[in-house]
């Protein structure tokens, strides 16, 4: 059951990160509009600024980051699967005689 809780925590953290990224993109677009710049035109302009080599490097970097994240999650799952249960009870301690 603890593994399911851990997976749910990972999913929730990922969803929170996606929500933050979406909020950041929305905030950036609002800033551009406030400055009188059309976000679509800005994207089109920036897309034209990258060379094929720069685009390939960015894509390779992105894929390497994804692989590193997937590997880290797999290691965390593996490490978690070998952890002993922490719900052990030590039992009651015998009472001490008062002097």
Q: What is the DSSP letter of 92?
A: P
> What pLDDT digit, counting tens, does each position of 2-59 carry?
566 778 888 888 889 989 999 998 998 999 888 888 888 888 877 777 788 888 888 8
Where does the pLDDT of residue 87 fall: very low under 50, low under 70, confident under 90, or very high at 90 and above? low
SS3 assignment for 16-84? HHHHHHHHHHHHHHHHHHHCCCCHHHHHHHHHHHCCHHHHHHHHHHHHHHHHHHHHHHHHHHHHHHCCC
Task: Of 92, 82, 63, 89, give the one whose Cα is nearest residue 6.
Answer: 82
Tokens of 50: 């990258």
Confidence check: pLDDT of 81 > 70: yes
Q: Are 75 and 83 in contact (CB under 8 A)?
A: no
> What pLDDT digit, counting tens, does each position of 46-75 carry?
777 778 888 888 888 888 888 888 888 888
């Amino acid at each position: 059951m603890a593994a399911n809780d851990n997976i749910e925590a990972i999913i929730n953290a990922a969803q929170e990160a996606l929500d933050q990224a979406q909020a950041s993109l929305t905030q950036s677009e609002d800033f551009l509009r406030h400055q009188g710049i059309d976000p679509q035109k800005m994207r089109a302009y920036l897309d034209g600024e990258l060379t094929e080599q720069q685009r390939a490097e960015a894509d390779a970097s992105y894929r390497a980051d994804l692989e590193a994240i997937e590997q880290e999650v797999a290691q965390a799952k593996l490490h978690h699967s070998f952890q002993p249960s922490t719900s052990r009870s030590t039992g009651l301690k015998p009472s001490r005689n008062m002097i």
